[in-house]
């Protein structure tokens, strides 16, 4: 496997469900990111992990809970989501600092 891999690619869940999104990077990077991409809106940064520590939390509701167990893996735990949370969730990785970020293909999330 190369690059940034995200699973699942598609997820449909009810508002009361709990699920997790997974991201794995094979680029040797030490920073990882979660973004939300909604139709007709710019990508919104949600969380940044650098050297496995969370360094940015962009005013994201607590129903989204990130986890970074090591520099290669990143999770986004979801619970009690709202219909407006339906979007494409993208994971990215880079070397820490202002280095270019490389993205996975995202998880398309639909909340019923």
Partner 1 sequence: QKEVEQDPGPLSVPEGAIVSLNCTYSNSAFQYFMWYRQYSRKGPELLMYTYSSGNKEDGRFTAQVDKSSKYISLFIRDSQPSDSATYLCAMSAISNTGKLIFGQGTTLQVKP
Gap between the Cα atoms of 49 and 42, Å rounded: 21
The answer to whether residues 30 and 95 touch, using CB atoms and an 8 Å cutoff, is yes
User: 52 vs 79, which CB is nearer to partner 1?
Assistant: 52
Residue 37 has which token pair? 């991409």
Burial class (CB in 10 A: 0-12, 13-18, 19+), 109: buried
Least distance (Å) from partner 1 to the CB of residue 62?
21
Least distance (Å) from partner 1 to the CB of residue 15?
25
Size of the site for partner 1 (CB under 8 A): 26
Site for partner 1 in 17-76 (CB under 8 A): 31, 33, 40-43, 45, 48, 50, 55-56
The answer to whether residues 11 and 108 touch, using CB atoms and an 8 Å cutoff, is yes
Binding site for partner 1 (CB under 8 A): 4, 6, 31, 33, 40-43, 45, 48, 50, 55-56, 90, 94, 96-106
């Amino acid at each position: 496997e190369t690059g940034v891999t995200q699973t699942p690619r598609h997820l449909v869940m009810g508002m009361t469900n709990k699920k997790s999104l997974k991201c794995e990077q094979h680029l040797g990077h030490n920073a990882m990111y979660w973004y939300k991409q909604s139709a007709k809106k710019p990508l919104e940064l949600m969380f940044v992990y650098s050297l496995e520590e969370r360094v940015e939390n962009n005013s994201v509701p607590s129903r989204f809970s990130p986890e970074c167990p090591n520099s290669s893996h990143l999770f986004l735990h979801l619970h009690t989501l709202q219909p407006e949370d339906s979007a494409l969730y993208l994971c990215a990785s880079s070397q820490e600092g202002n280095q270019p970020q490389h993205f996975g293909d995202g998880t398309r999330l639909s909340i019923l």
